[in-house]
Structure 1
Amino acid sequence: MQFNFNSAEPLYLQVAEQIMEAILAKIYSADDQIPSTTEISRSYHINPATVLKGMNLLVNQGLIVKKRGIGMFVTPHAYQKIVEQRRDQFYQQRIIDLIKEARRLQISKDELISLIERGFNE
């Protein structure tokens, strides 16, 4: 995990993002235990309440689950949920802008598809 203490993005969001990235990279799979709040807090010198706030975001999203007295674990469908969430973000943040720019440049749908295929083949 890497945290940017000078970033405008709050640390608790960075904690949540780092854990989601680890799930997406399959560092943590379904039912795997993730590092505890204390472990992350000590390793990266982050306030335990900040770490917990980030983890609670993931609990609320159904990506991790608390097992009282044992720790936090990745839920069975966490990977797929993250992939679906990221695909939606990709569409909203990149594809829509790509299409707008293509229209501004008078690139047809067929030309755009051809450019995408060329990118995949390179």
Structure 2
Amino acid sequence: KVACAGGPVVDWKWYEIMYGERYMDTPDENPDGYKNASLLNYIDKLAGHALVIHGTMDPVVVWQHSLSLIQKAVEEGVQLDYFVYPGHEHNVRGTDRVHLYQKIADYFDLYLK
């Protein structure tokens, strides 16, 4: 019914090599594995509501992940909700973290009540 993803890994070929290649080998060695693990190939299956949250300065999961997901959703006619935390890295910190938690709680309340 409802989901929230913060700084999501959308396509493993764009993620840190030390994680992706440790478990999946390289994209050249395992193209089917990378293809099957890419959320871009499943966006048309999304049912319900989804909120994607991302910090603009995230060095762990680069912005390309969520932007490509949004682009694919637009191409497929899938509605996603998207919220950006300007200047934040992978973890939203400080008083903005309170805002983040409230944002998520409100989103779930909206679609689960």
TM-score (norm 1): 0.29
Which is helix-richer, 1 or 2?
Answer: 1
Which is strand-richer, 1 or 2?
Answer: 2
